[in-house]
A and B are shown apart, each in its own frame.
Chain A
Amino acid sequence: MIETKDLHKDYRIGKVLFPALRGINIKIAEGEFTAIAGPSGSGKTTLLNIIGCLDTPTKGDVAINGRLISALNAREKADLRKNEIGFIFQTFNLIPVLTAFENVELPLLLLDKDAGRRRERVVSILDEVGLGDFVNRRPNEMSGGQQQRVAIARALVKQPSMVLADEPTANLDSTTAREILSLMQVLNDKHKATFIFSTHDQLVMEFARRVIRLRDGKVAADESK
């Protein structure tokens, strides 16, 4: 359960103040498959970053499973990210010197000391995303779609309670994007993790069960299917 309370965020660029979020109040229940939509500059990424404890609000607060993030220090935030949150980025952000297997294993290193158990988990999740044969490839030896599958596996491997995806399909062609989205939907059903996307892609909204539209830092619409 994620709840935002009157969330504000201002960015200062030079002397000018840009309000990115201007009072966001939303609730997202466990297991939801939600898209946050809106044109660029509407505050989607900022909202995701704040929910993911990567950024701090100027005003307001977020409650994640009842815990207010304003009460957490840097270390507790890191722990929260480590245990509860998986991230997927527009530019995939895989570590180039690591293989697909090692990239997926990375977040598990912080959670599970047992190498055998880790291996099992990594192999099974890579199978799930359809990359069973690519475990030893480096990022630069894979297509964009394959890299994003690795990123999804990396986000899900630790079985987080929520997955935050910032424009996950923006760097992919539409066929690949469709594949990725249906994969995420399947995984959402299976793992029961909350999925939140930011997107301005119509395609994503077709897949989402709930679409929250932002405009100029405010919620313009909130529709569920």
Chain B
Amino acid sequence: MKILNLAWRNVFRHTRRTIITAAAISVGLASMIMMNTMMNGMDKMASRNIIDYETSHLEVFARGYYREEGFFPLDTIVEDPLSLTEEIKQIRGVSGVAPRVKFHASITNGIDELPVLGVGIDIEEERKVFDTPEAVVEGRYLEQNGDVLIGAGLARDMDLEVGSFLTMITRDRNGTYNALDLAVAGIINSGHPLFDRNAAVIAIEEAQELLAMEGAVTELSIRARNENDLAPLKRELSAVIGEEHELYTWKELSASVFEISGFKRAAQFMIALVVVIISAVGIVNTMLMAVMERIPEIGTLKAMGFRKSGIMKMFLYEGGIIGIFGSLLGCAVGILVSLYLVYVGFDMSGMFEDMDIGYPIRMVIKGEIDPRMVFYVFLFGVLVSVAVTLWPVRKATKLEPVDALRHV
């Protein structure tokens, strides 16, 4: 305890030096926290978009349907969705089941033709599982056959507005071309690029007829009551759906999205790590100065019978105290910037415009603070500070007491 006290006072022998060193560490740590907040925010946004518009929590397909993202074969479909839906609804953890038919189609306004993602939805069940109705920013939600909802980007590109007419062209499951005349009922702006740029949403009955599906659907989307732990629900569902179907969680269905985010995290972490390493060199420098200027003092302590370990402890405490200050400062700055990101957000729209950045998010990204990460960053800062102190301190304790005393 006394050694800690001594270390504490030694740290404040050179307040300015301590401040500079601690501030240097804090920059790296703050950027770690900031980047983490940013990435968490992006991931959370992406997750919400995927859950609320694309897949919900779990999806059931016919076995062999799911091969890769963005691929919608019509040769492997859920032939009898009604009875399966009933069975799934019996499970307590399920709060809603909505059938969907996803298919490739083109839409044309008479001049231009554009490939789109056709989505047939059950007008009523959709509400219990997806946020599609809430994403309608102009016009209204689907009400009847002949209605179509289109993404805002699609509307802009094709000069469509509420009330415009368009023709949807696709090939049914037998390969025959079919066309369907539709009127734009509403325009969707969900924040999910897949929907906002590419989707044309129609009633599921119409989609089934257009594609000659005879009551079949491509998938059943299941909303869970508890979205944080899907594993037990998945087990329960697996038992119900039978051999001819397959089941995936939303995370499994969007693995590539989170793979990209993993790479980005790694890259940003590396940058922050470099800053921390450079600041760690600063700590080494500071501690080395502390050791050098106090060599006679080390000699005195040795003459009193202090062992290497005691002296080492004192310097390690000093490194640790500087580390704690730096880490506290870093975490404070990191949290402040993060709070800004959480409440105001970071506007990326100027940066990317229409570009497909391969990530389903809206252009204003809001951060999400992970308190655990803040704690780890703090710990990391302190540990690094103590660890890099070892080297200069070993130098000091190795000195013979007589040499240490003679050193002026």
Please give the residue numbers on chain A whose beta carbons come within 8 Å of chain B beta carbons, in ascending order: 49, 52, 54-55, 74-75, 78-83, 85, 87, 89, 91, 93, 95-98, 105-107, 109-110, 154
Contact between A97 and B9 (Cβ–Cβ < 8 Å)?
yes
Indicate whether B71 reaches chain A with its CB closer than 8 angstroms.
no
Residues of B close to A96: CB separation below 8 A = 13
Scoring B residues 1 to 17 as 1 if CB is less than 8 Å from chain A, else 0, what string do you get? Answer: 01100100110010000
Contact between A78 and B6 (Cβ–Cβ < 8 Å)?
no
Residues of B close to A89: CB separation below 8 A = 300, 405
Residues of B close to A154: CB separation below 8 A = 304
Indicate whether B375 reaches chain A with its CB closer than 8 angstroms.
no
Instruction: State in angstroms the CA–CA spacing of A3 and B279 once bound together.
Output: 53
Contact between A93 and B297 (Cβ–Cβ < 8 Å)?
yes
Contact between B305 and A82 (Cβ–Cβ < 8 Å)?
yes
Contact between A97 and B307 (Cβ–Cβ < 8 Å)?
no
Residues of B close to A93: CB separation below 8 A = 296-297, 299-300, 405
Indicate whether B402 reaches chain A with its CB closer than 8 angstroms.
yes
* Chain B interface mostly: helix
A–B Cβ pairs within 8 angstroms, 28 of them = A49-B402, A49-B405, A52-B303, A54-B302, A54-B400, A54-B401, A54-B405, A55-B401, A55-B402, A74-B308, A75-B307, A78-B305, A81-B303, A81-B304, A82-B304, A85-B305, A87-B300, A93-B297, A93-B299, A93-B300, A93-B405, A95-B297, A97-B13, A98-B6, A98-B9, A106-B2, A109-B2, A110-B310
Closest CB-CB distance, A52 to chain B, in whole Å? 7
**Smallest Cβ-Cβ distance to A84: which chain B residue:** B305
From A55, A91, A98, A107, contact of B305 by CB (8 A): A107
Residues of A close to B299: CB separation below 8 A = 93
Indicate whether B391 reaches chain A with its CB closer than 8 angstroms.
no
Instruction: State in angstroms the CA–CA spacing of A160 and B24 once bound together.
Output: 46
Instruction: State in angstroms the CA–CA spacing of A74 and B307 once bound together.
Output: 9
Instruction: State in angstroms the CA–CA spacing of A105 and B296 once bound together.
Output: 19
Residues of A close to B307: CB separation below 8 A = 75, 78
